[in-house]
Amino acid sequence: MRNGDDCPATGSSWLQRLYTRSPALFCFCGMAILMTVLWSLGFQLNGDVDDLVKLHEVRTLLETGNIFDRTLPGVAQPEPYVSHWPWIVDLPYAAFARLLMPLAGFEPALMLASFAVPLLLLAPALYFYNRLVIAMGFANPAVALPLALIFAARSFFEYAPGRIDYHNLQILLLLAALVLMLSQNRFAAFINGLLAALALAISAEFAPFYALVMAVYAVDWIFGREQGPDRIVGFGLALALGGVGLFATIVPPSAYFAVKCDTYSAPHVTALVAAGLSFAVVPLLVGRRGGWATRAAILLVFAAASAVALVLLFPHCLAGPYASLDAYVRDNMLNRIPQELSLFRRPDFVLSGSFPSMALLFVGALAPAVICLNPQSRSRPLVILALFSLLALALAIGYFRYFRYLPVFSGIGLTFVLASFLPPDAGQGRYLKSHVPTASPRYALILPGLVLSVAMALYQLSARPSHAAIPAAEFADSCDLRHFEQRQGWPAGAVVLTPPLIGAHFLALAEGPKVVTIPNHPSAQGIERSYRFLDPSTADPRAFLDASKATHVALCGWRGPPSPHLETAYPFAAALMEGHPPSWLRECPTDASSPLRLYSYRNADGSDATCPVSTASAQALP
């Protein structure tokens, strides 16, 4: 019989063994609890307005059951708004909500899906991240994993409750791709090809990462590495088959020959099939003939021929997914969105309180590459990590929307940095010790990241990027909408002209009005009308109000004393924000705590539009 003194030690030993066997499970529980607590306290973490649009999109899918019709009924520009996101990104949320609807009802089930599905996606993401950490060769991955997660927390906050955009799914698929590249399973490359097709069907945003995935398989074959031919053929066949299968799944037969550059359509499936067949056919044609130069040349010929064919077939897609946007929308809205800018144009980020975290991420992103400078350190997993880390860094600097993915790679790099500064044979150092020799001296690991950070700061101080004047619509869209709630019952047929962000908040309401615009590029016509409506240079704002067929106007309310600067810069917008409308608009009563001012205009038949009425049953957003 054991005495009481043995119990704590025994319990601790049992718990420690369980954690050592399943660190990803414990990290999942810890992160899920942390993000749930932060969510309950009102922190949005990585949330953005796309989550609101996605909520309406999933709601529409559940209501209609039509997977091919991507028209969102809540957006009336008055032209139809057709979503550029394929229905498969809505599937996890719609399926989860459908299971709960008999028990909880429609809206509660949808809210539960928005809460739970991102957390459920976190579990496999952490599993693959743990596999990646193990492949790096740390002495005790159970210690290295939580440290890497602490450094990579910003990326994994994409799995916070309510974060229902597609970014968390993309991170999961990329982590799976990295692990499958390192796997010795003979089916790993084939599965990776299918996942690559899925990721690129969801969005072309990760195309640079999957181009690097393809490059790794190509290099394995070119240099005759073990299983190189089988890997490239399997990946290529799966990529082509997956591309065709997803095309049939996502695209309705009536749109098979439609060309859309911003969503999965003929150009995308053609590119996937061309790349996949090139990978599958070239090794079979070449066989064992020729050296690495011959193999590389033949593969490049096939790649060049595929690229030329794509350019000839779909030349207008060379301008990117935003090619059709009007110059006015580009200059006044798109080019002012922070995530659409490069770090060279973001002094508000580089020269701000975010600078230390940026420098830390730069250090972690470059550390694997520094380690690989030592020939003894070039293990396949570390070289692959270094390549993807460098690519993520380049993308983040050139296009800020990629910055959210950089911590995935910097987290592991910073763990190497931390290990290099700890005594290798004492304390935590022995757990983080890796069989991979790190750079010597240890400061070499942090120097490149610090130099890059200083260079970015010096550039900002010398170049000092100029900022264009803030458009009136952006100013009228800048109130605090974090606690936006449904406090009005809107009349049937109401269509509200708002700046884009406010429009997205209305769109997400279960029983809100239709809106003219939201901040997504398929809503470019509505964006232009809402911006021109408030533009001081517009002679007759009613022309754009009539063109949008709106019955009401909503914008941020200015509740403080009148601002001479505001009234001088934006006379029309200021009058509406301060509650001084023209004779053709009538202010509607709003709660004193409301961030908005509402105005009624007229209905389609020419009659005066009625104001929304206050309702006690507030429908809060998640």
DSSP class per residue in 177-215: HHHHHH---TTHHHHHHHHHHHHHHH-GGGHHHHHHHHH
In a domain, 146, yes or no: yes
Q: Is 317 helix (H, G, I), strand (E, B) or coil?
A: helix
Encoded tokens for 469: 């004047």
How close are the terminal C-alpha atoms of the chain, in Å? 54
Whole-angstrom distance, CA of residue 429 vs CA of residue 418: 9
Contacts of 132 (CB under 8 A, 6+ apart): 175, 178, 179, 182, 381, 385, 412
Q: Are residues 398 and 505 in the same domain?
A: no
pLDDT of amino acid 622: 40
pTM across the whole model? 0.92
Please tell me the distance from the alpha carbon of residue 594 to that of residue 578, in angstroms, as a whole number.
13
How many independent structural domains does the chain possess?
Answer: 3
* CB atoms near residue 424 (< 10 Å): 14
Whether residues 411 and 501 fall in one domain: no
CA distance 406 to 416: 16
Q: How many CB atoms lie within 10 A of CB 285?
A: 9
Nearest to 535 by CA among 586, 468, 470: 470
Q: Residue 586 and residue 427: Cα distance in Å, rounded?
A: 71
Positive or negative, the Cα torsion across 383, 386, 392, 394? negative
Q: Is the dihedral of CA 131, 137, 141, 145 positive or negative?
A: negative
Residue 276 lies in a domain: yes
Q: What tokens appear for 227 in the block?
A: 């299983």
278 and 383 belong to one structural domain? no
Residue 387 belongs to a domain: yes
How far is the C-alpha of 479 from the C-alpha of 181, rounded, in Å?
A: 47
What's residue 563's pLDDT?
A: 81
The answer on 248 and 99 residing in a single domain is yes
Cα–Cα distance list, 193 to 14, 126, 196, 200, 384 (Å)? 41, 21, 5, 11, 17
Domain presence at residue 600? yes
Give the chain's mean pLDDT: 89
- pLDDT at residue 9 in the model: 45
Both 263 and 310 in a single domain? Answer: yes
> What count of residues does the chain have?
622
In the chain, what percentage of residues exceed pLDDT 90?
64
The answer to whether residues 305 and 334 belong to one domain is no
488/392 same-domain check: no
Whether 515 is covered by a domain: the verdict is: yes
10 falls within a domain = no
Dist CA 412 CA 371 (whole Å) = 12
User: Which residue range is the domain that position 343 belongs to?
Assistant: 327-468
Looking only at the bridges linking them, the beta strands covering 485-489 and 613-620 are antiparallel
- 349 and 417 co-located in one domain: yes
Domain membership of residue 8 (yes or no) is no
* Same-domain pairing of 359 and 213: no
Residues 6+ apart with CB under 8 A from 557: 479, 577, 579, 590, 594, 595, 596, 597
Distance CA 125, CA 133 (A): 12
Q: Coil, helix or strand for 507? A: helix
Say whether both 314 and 334 belong to one domain: no
pLDDT of residue 322: 85
| Any domain includes 404 | yes
Tokens for 307, please give them: 């690229």
* DSSP character at residue 86: -
pLDDT lower than 70: segments of the chain = 1-12, 288, 423-441, 467, 486, 615-622
In this predicted structure, what is the pLDDT of residue 615?
Answer: 65
Greatest Cα-to-Cα distance within the chain, rounded to the nearest angstrom? 92
Q: Which residues are CB-neighbours of 84 under 8 A, at least 6 positions away?
A: 70, 260, 262, 263, 321, 520, 521, 522
Measured in whole angstroms, the distance separating CA 275 from the mean position of its chain's CA atoms is 25
- CA gap 210, 387 in Å, rounded: 12
Query: Looking at 287, 303, 326, which one is the last position of a domain?
Result: 326
Q: Which of 292, 326, 360 delimits the end of a domain?
A: 326
Residue 517 one-letter amino acid: T
Task: Examine the domain organization and report whether 447 and 554 are in the same domain.
Answer: no
Alpha carbon separation from 573 to 110, 514, 536 (Å, rounded): 36, 22, 8
Boundary-marking domain end, from 272, 303, 326: 326
DSSP state of 539: S
Host H or E run for residue 71: strand 71-76
Residue 594 and residue 538 in one domain: yes
Q: Which of 238, 289, 321 is nearest to 522 (CA)?
A: 321
- The rounded distance, in Å, linking the Cα atoms of 445 and 377 is 13
